[in-house]
Amino acid sequence: MKIKNVTVFGHADYPEDAPEYIKTFETTKLLAEAGYTIVDGGGPGIMKAATMGAKSVGGRAIGVTLYPSGSDATLNFEGRDPGNEIDEEVKTGTYLERTLKLIELGDVYLVMNGGTGTVSEFGMAWGLARLHYGCHKHLILFGSWWHQIMEAFAANMKIREEALKVYHIVDEPHEVLDTIKMIEGLEDNC
């Protein structure tokens, strides 16, 4: 399975000195050094950390941005961060279009800590991975606290067995890279 793009999901409100921001920066720096392109939402917080980590070692970052229009024009949304120095901008007009484009562009998803937007992105990516099980895109959930969340889903909801096989939980930046290398080593029958 060949992986080129890593889509990063996470909270927009983390400042640059937050541990989550720093871990994201360190992780995407390692990924860019290994030749992966980073995809994020082009905003602040985790998105900016993802881009800046990649850029710190000459890597490439794609930002899928949202310029609300139509029914989305009144969104309470963080928007494009001019300090997020993406190499390529993919503009979208609705939240759903943006989420779908982030998912489309990623070959694997890195889910950092976040709010309802991150939960929404995670849920859609997880659902699609389950639907395409066997030909799915993997999710990498960053932080040991994910164990408790995923165990609660498994214990309290009607989660199919294959849905529990499409994600990996890691705690450190190097584990993200190791997991991607492991995923690349899997046989691709698609």
- Residue 73 banded pLDDT, cuts 50, 70, 90: low
| Amino acid, single-letter form, for residue 26 | E
The whole-number average pLDDT for the span 52-68 is: 96
How many whole angstroms separate alpha carbon 100 and alpha carbon 152?
26
Domains recognised in the chain with CATH numbers: 5-184 (3.40.50.450)
The pTM (predicted TM-score) of the whole model is 0.95
Q: Give the pLDDT confidence score for residue 187 in this predicted structure.
A: 77
160 Cα distance to chain centroid: 23
pLDDT in tens, 145-173: 999 999 999 999 999 888 889 999 999 99
